[in-house]
Amino acid sequence: MSVHIACEDMDFAWKVHQVVLFEEMWRRGVPIADIAKLLRREVDEVFVLALDRARAGAIRKREGGIFGTNDDRGIPDAARRREKAQVPEQTHEGRRHII
């Protein structure tokens, strides 16, 4: 019997500071695509993180859903600095991630 493992090419490991930034940006209405860009992750990976955090009760439904309602004013300063800085990265199976 053969088995299919869904999304085995995705990285579901998150550093705690990334989760905290995600939750803050979610609450501020930042669109999921912008969150993914700032965290240097694939949108699908951020979507799965949103599912995880919603199931844990850490985030709630918001106006605009995953698309959010806010522009870059909702982006926390720490994420904005990370976007501008030369942040060291590591690769995981050919994908870039913030260390």
So what's the pLDDT on residue 93? 56
Residues of the chain with pLDDT under 50: 86-88, 98-99
Closest CA to 43 of 53, 30, 33, 58: 33
So what's the pLDDT on residue 58? 97
86 phi, psi to nearest 5 deg: -85, 90
Dist. CA 50–CA 36, nearest whole Å:
11
Closest CA to 50 of 73, 25, 75: 25
So what's the pLDDT on residue 99? 39
Confirm if 61 and 52 have CB atoms less than 8 A apart.
no
Q: Is the pTM of this model over 0.85?
A: no
So what's the pLDDT on residue 70? 72
So what's the pLDDT on residue 86? 46
